[in-house]
Amino acid sequence: MEYITLNNQVTMPILGLGTYQLKGNSGIETIKNAINLGYTLIDTAQMYQNEREVGIAIKESNVNRENLFITTKICTPNTTYEKAEKAIDISLKNLQTDYIDLLLIHEPYDTSTEMYKAFEKAYINGKVRAIGISNFNESEYLDFIDKCSVIPAINQVECHIMYNKKELQHTMKKYGTVLMGYSPFAQGNGNLFVDNDIMNIGKKYNKTSSQVMLRHLIQRDIPTIPKASSVERLKENLDVFNFTLNDNDVQIINSKNQNKSFFGWD
């Protein structure tokens, strides 16, 4: 595993498990499998309605809590200071933990700065190890950091080879915020898994297209959280730390960028 150091010196795994749609007993088993395979970064959110499953999986896994990095996100209707403060305690209870490693505002709200004050308090009080935001574009990010006391450690956004977010990453780096990418495979859009160029790069290293796409983000120092449910795919996504893309590979991959979102957050 490789790690990223955040702006408060907390270290974070560069690859983790996205848990969107992992619910119920099958979700618990998938998360437990991931942890036992070596995943230590687990990303959830109140919007996903599966914090409880994540908490159970952590308790039932064979890994100590202090060796895991748990991320969750607060969303509407918890968009006031008081509601955000209560929502943090709800997440702690659901996750069965005394602290959250990374807490994010799930998307920009009119009252994001008010919510963030509750985050800052939780950070100061040790309930949270790092705080940040999600789905903020460049102008929203720049406006936000003018109004907060603690610069966000992370802005989690859609990021893949067809939407590489290089400009946003460059801008945030000046202020110490790391770009964290979700949906590294563009949810299967754009035929990326069967793109001849990506497949040919993979063949050189005996890797799949998925592994090439993940490795590209990792070499850009972008933490990413691919979702998977089968043990085979969990293993495959984790097996990306034993090869390095060369400059020509990177140039080919960069040519795929279309600045195209598949979610409409921006």
Predicted confidence (pLDDT) per residue in 74-127, tens digit: 999 999 999 999 999 999 999 999 999 999 999 999 999 999 999 999 999 999
Catalytic residue among 3, 39, 48, 81: 48
Is a pLDDT exceeding 80 seen at residue 263? no
Share of the chain above pLDDT 70, in %: 99
48 is catalytic: yes
- Give, in words, the CATH class of 3-188+221-230: alpha beta
pLDDT reported for residue 112: 98
pLDDT reported for residue 135: 97
How much is the average pLDDT of 231-238?
Answer: 98
| Contact status, residue 88 vs residue 82, Cβ threshold 8 Å | no
Q: How confident is the model at residue 266 (pLDDT cuts 50, 70, 90)?
A: low
Q: How confident is the model at residue 262 (pLDDT cuts 50, 70, 90)?
A: confident
Listed residue (126, 125, 185, 124) closest to 160, CA to CA: 185
Predicted confidence (pLDDT) per residue in 50-65, tens digit: 999 999 999 999 899 9
Count of C-beta atoms within a 10 Å radius of residue 67 = 9
Per the prediction, the chain carries an average pLDDT of 96
Binding site, annotated residues for substrate: 106
Listed residue (174, 168, 132, 173) closest to 261, CA to CA: 168
Dist CA 237 CA 208 (whole Å): 9
Q: Higher-confidence residue: 176 or 261? A: 176
pTM comes to 0.96
Listed residue (86, 81, 84, 76) closest to 106, CA to CA: 76
